[in-house]
């Protein structure tokens, strides 16, 4: 029987029972964190070899003879481009290797577009009514960047196939709409992968803005948590069919392959965009850290080894997903929540009874369980239905994750019961 089907007495009784358990849990003074997509120590240890790699034994020179201790190789070592090309399935010639952060490369690309425009376009700062498409629920840091640059953020719902493309196409007919954020594989937080039809429609659609850009953040390209991972269509190949390769800026990093904050980031782009990136970034820096690139190529050697490594990482993530999902299953049949069962990536997306996500967050927080703030998965941090929560289950230990999810389940039920009782009153 769902909560909605229960009578008022039964709901009150259930609420009292759950509150008593909740208060006991709360009294334990826990301190658990499900808020950010961070690997745990076990995952990190899988690449500890990167830390102690003796670089000098093989010399600090790149394959092309570049002394990685000195200036040079401005847009990246050729073997690093090759490795990234194998990871993302793209032509190494399209790749510009950056520093440690793909988010920073996205921010930089937007900052340049703001001040100088993209090739052939006007600076976006000259478009006071500029707008940006955000797939919801989505990644808070993406939304924050475009908010910072003064874009009006337009929400488009995520569907199992990717963004609702009818809405995206309608919005792209407005010349003030300059682009869209995409996490196309194991999307943050819903965990689904865009279908080929969706990818095709993104590159095929008419955009009123000739300088429209797809920010393609393939953060979880090789982050399968199941034997048979999802397959993402090759956006550059499809874009080529429609002559829209300039529309795509493709970002990635090894942050969740090697070390978060200690990895290597990249942007891949059409020849025209790449020429612009090289020219502009050439004013900004003499070059990024090649020594870290050298470590990564010496350690991983090739894409096959990366995939072997990602199988081990995926197993760690799967374990955590399973623990969280087992606990969340206590919500099944209550009619107050639904949650994703992701095949990869880092997150579980939980929809609670509309109007209760903030209350769930607060109940968890007061019991020592930190969630990503309710609303974070929406532009401006405002979930219009106040229902979505993003769970990041990788960081805590298995025991902590179990304890935290139990409290979360309690909080979801309590908040729902409170809401149902209040609306009936």
In the chain, count of helices (H) and strands (E)? 13, 13
Give yes or no for residue 6 binding its own copies (CB under 8 A). no
- Out of 93, 291, 304, 341, name the contact with its own copies by CB under 8 A: 291
- Out of 29, 41, 160, 243, name the contact with its own copies by CB under 8 A: 41
Identify which of 24, 38, 35 has the alpha carbon closest to the alpha carbon of residue 365: 35
- Sign of the CA dihedral running 381, 145, 214, 102: negative
- How many other CB atoms are found less than 10 A from the CB of residue 329? 11
Nearer to its own copies, 145 or 221 (CB): 145
- How many other CB atoms are found less than 10 A from the CB of residue 289? 14
Nearer to its own copies, 3 or 251 (CB): 251
Give yes or no for residue 278 binding its own copies (CB under 8 A). no
Q: State how far Cα 242 lies from the chain centre.
A: 27
Binding mask 42-81 for its own copies (x = CB under 8 A): --x--xx--xx-xxxx--x------xxxxxx---------
- Out of 259, 300, 346, 378, name the contact with its own copies by CB under 8 A: 259
CB of 365 closer than 8 Å to CB of 35: no
Distance CA 243, CA 237 (A): 10
- How many other CB atoms are found less than 10 A from the CB of residue 63? 12
Nearer to its own copies, 71 or 242 (CB): 71
Tell me the HSE value of 278 on the side-chain side, using a 13 A CA sphere. Answer: 16
Q: Give the DSSP letter of residue 344.
A: B
Distance CA 115, CA 381 (A): 26
CB of 40 closer than 8 Å to CB of 323: no
Closest contact distance (angstroms) between CB of 253 and its own copies is: 11
Closest contact distance (angstroms) between CB of 21 and its own copies is: 33
**Of the ranges 78-86, 260-268, 313-321, 414-422, which one interacts with its own copies (CB under 8 A)?**
260-268
**Of the ranges 279-287, 317-325, 361-369, 403-411, which one interacts with its own copies (CB under 8 A)?**
279-287
- In which element (H, E) is residue 81 found? helix 78-88
CB of 407 closer than 8 Å to CB of 22: yes
Nearer to its own copies, 185 or 295 (CB): 295
Distance CA 294, CA 86 (A): 16
Identify which of 192, 180, 196 has the alpha carbon closest to the alpha carbon of residue 106: 180
**Of the ranges 214-222, 284-292, 321-329, 409-417, which one interacts with its own copies (CB under 8 A)?**
284-292
- Sign of the CA dihedral running 382, 155, 102, 213: negative
Q: Output the CA angle 338-342-343, nearest 5 degrees.
A: 155
Closest contact distance (angstroms) between CB of 372 and its own copies is: 14
Nearer to its own copies, 53 or 362 (CB): 53
Identify which of 228, 231, 223 has the alpha carbon closest to the alpha carbon of residue 252: 223
Closest contact distance (angstroms) between CB of 345 and its own copies is: 16
Give yes or no for residue 36 binding its own copies (CB under 8 A). yes
Nearer to its own copies, 295 or 419 (CB): 295
Nearer to its own copies, 100 or 349 (CB): 100
Binding mask 123-142 for its own copies (x = CB under 8 A): --x---------------x-
Binding mask 140-159 for its own copies (x = CB under 8 A): -x--xx--xx----------
**Of the ranges 7-15, 226-234, 257-265, 347-355, which one interacts with its own copies (CB under 8 A)?**
257-265
Identify which of 149, 147, 119 has the alpha carbon closest to the alpha carbon of residue 134: 147
Question: Using CB under 8 A, which residues numbered 91 to 130 contact its own copies?
Answer: 99-101, 103-104, 107-108, 111, 114-115, 125
Residues making up the chain, counted from first to last: 425
Number of residues near its own copies (by CB under 8 A): 51
CB of 390 closer than 8 Å to CB of 138: no
Tell me which residues touch its own copies (CB under 8 A). 36, 38-39, 41, 44, 47-48, 51-52, 54-57, 60, 67-72, 99-101, 103-104, 107-108, 111, 114-115, 125, 141, 144-145, 148-149, 259-262, 280, 283-292
């Amino acid at each position: 029987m769902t909560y909605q089907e229960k009578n008022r007495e039964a709901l009150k009784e259930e609420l009292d029972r759950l509150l008593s358990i909740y208060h006991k849990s709360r009294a334990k003074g826990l301190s658990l964190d499900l808020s950010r997509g961070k690997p745990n120590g076990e995952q990190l240890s899988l690449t500890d070899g990167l830390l102690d790699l003796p670089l000098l034994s093989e010399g600090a020179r790149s394959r092309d003879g570049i002394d990685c201790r000195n200036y040079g190789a401005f847009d990246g070592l050729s073997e690093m481009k090759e490795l990234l090309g194998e990871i993302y399935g793209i032509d190494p010639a399209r790749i510009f290797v950056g520093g440690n952060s793909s988010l920073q490369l996205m921010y930089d690309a937007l900052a340049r577009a703001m001040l100088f425009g993209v090739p052939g376009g006007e600076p976006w700062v000259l478009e006071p009514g500029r707008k940006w498409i955000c797939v919801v629920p989505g990644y808070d840091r993406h939304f924050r960047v475009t908010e910072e640059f003064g874009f009006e953020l337009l929400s488009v719902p995520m569907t199992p196939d990717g963004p609702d493309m009818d809405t995206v196409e309608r919005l792209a007919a407005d010349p003030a709409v300059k682009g869209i954020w995409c996490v196309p594989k194991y999307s943050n937080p819903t965990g689904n992968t865009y279908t080929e039809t969706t990818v095709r429609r993104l590159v095929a659609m008419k955009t009123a803005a000739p300088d429209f850009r797809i920010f393609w953040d393939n953060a979880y390209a090789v982050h399968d948590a199941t034997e048979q991972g999802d397959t993402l269509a090759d956006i550059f190949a499809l874009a080529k069919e429609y002559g829209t390769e300039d529309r795509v800026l493709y970002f990635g990093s090894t942050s969740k392959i090697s070390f978060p904050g200690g990895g290597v980031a990249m942007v891949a782009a059409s020849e025209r965009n790449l020429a612009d990136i090289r020219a502009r970034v050439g004013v900004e820096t003499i070059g990024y850290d090649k020594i870290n690139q050298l470590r990564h190529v010496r350690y991983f050697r090739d894409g096959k080894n990366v995939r072997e490594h990602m199988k081990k990482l995926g197993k760690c993530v799967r374990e955590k997903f399973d623990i969280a999902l087992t606990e969340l299953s206590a919500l099944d049949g209550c009619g107050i929540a639904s949650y994703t069962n992701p095949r990869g990536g880092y997150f579980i997306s939980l929809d609670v009874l509309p109007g209760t996500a903030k209350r769930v967050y607060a109940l968890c927080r007061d019991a020592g369980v930190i969630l990503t703030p309710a609303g974070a998965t929406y532009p401006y941090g405002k979930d219009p239905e106040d229902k979505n929560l993003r769970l990041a289950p990788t960081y805590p230990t298995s025991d902590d994750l179990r304890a935290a999810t139990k409290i979360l389940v309690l909080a979801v039920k309590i908040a729902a019961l409170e809401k149902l009782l209040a609306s009936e009153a």
